[in-house]
Amino acid sequence: MIRSRRFREVAALAVLGLGLAGFWTWNFYVRQVTPQLALFCAAAFLLCVISRLYVAGAAWGLAAIIGLSAIASDFLPGVPTLRPGCIVSVVTFNKLIEPPQYVDDVGAARMLAGLKPDIIFAQKVSAASFRDDLRANGFGEYHDLLAPTKPDLLIMSRFPMVRREDTGNGIAFDVLVEGQEVTLKNMYATRPNHDWAAYVADHARIHDEVARHQNPLILAGDANATEFTPQIRTLSEVLEDAWDEAGFGLGFTWPTHYRRLGMIGPWLRIDYIFHNRAFDAVSARRIDDATGAGHFPVLAKLVLVGAGKPGAPCE
């Protein structure tokens, strides 16, 4: 009996050792699922304790604590520190879905209209066609930016446009909000499992562009990386993540039930609304209606500090 328990203890430790070896070998991809790994370690800890494998249980418990500490702040209640200013409502929406019979651009446009955002960042869309669907469903007066080299990206804003730009990995344009120029940048990073070098280059370019930006800035879109990756952590050093400020929980946005991988629900947060210090986040939430989309939308309300009437919509 004692030998059997020792064997199980060694086996449990060996499994943990192999897991740690795999973590270091495939560090980037494993980090993407940090919450799931933390829960797995916690379950292994409980199983070891129930089986009276105390040494292995202590090791698995330590691994669980380390993993859970990485996500604990997402569940801690907090009250954002808000400076006075008017409110801008922003939504980011990645529409790509498979298979094509689930495509519902009109339904997606109506869903977005129900949110009444001031600014829409859309990725993986047929930009001109989706723009027309949005115009026909509540966004007829909005300004838009279509980029010839980025036909799958779209920005729409109720604020007038004063300047536009087609960057290497996204599109951007400046709008006039309460007399101030505010830069809107649409982000879409290459998937790391498709082209690692392009993924790294995309994030490096995004970081360099926003790090030297002086005007009020909102960066939103699909980063194809979770908050636990070096790329997002580096970006968070120069910009604020609205979800970290004013969201609750892990806010998984991918995949939706329209994708085969989404049958068990979303399990990664890869869609973001970032901003610089010209803004404070009032709220951030995932929209559970993902009509016609492969990602759940994210909606944030931001204060443009020192502008307009405090608490009122920006003009």
pLDDT of res. 27: 72
Q: Give the sign of the dihedral formed by CA 190, CA 191, CA 194, CA 197.
A: positive
Q: Are 258 and 97 in contact (CB under 8 A)?
A: yes
Domain boundaries, the chain: 2-70, 85-305
Tens digit of pLDDT at every position of the chain (315 positions):
555 778 888 888 888 888 877 776 777 777 788 899 999 999 999 999 999 999 999 999 999 999 899 888 888 766 678 999 999 999 999 987 666 666 788 999 999 999 999 999 999 888 889 999 999 999 999 999 877 778 889 999 999 998 777 665 568 889 999 999 999 999 999 999 889 999 999 999 999 999 988 899 999 999 999 999 999 999 999 999 999 999 999 999 998 877 666 677 799 999 999 999 999 999 999 999 988 788 999 999 999 999 999 999 999
pLDDT of res. 288: 92
pLDDT of res. 166: 62
Q: Bridge-partner residues for 41, per DSSP?
A: none
pTM of the model: 0.91
pLDDT of res. 78: 66
- What is the CATH number that goes with domain 85-305? 3.60.10.10
pLDDT of res. 168: 57
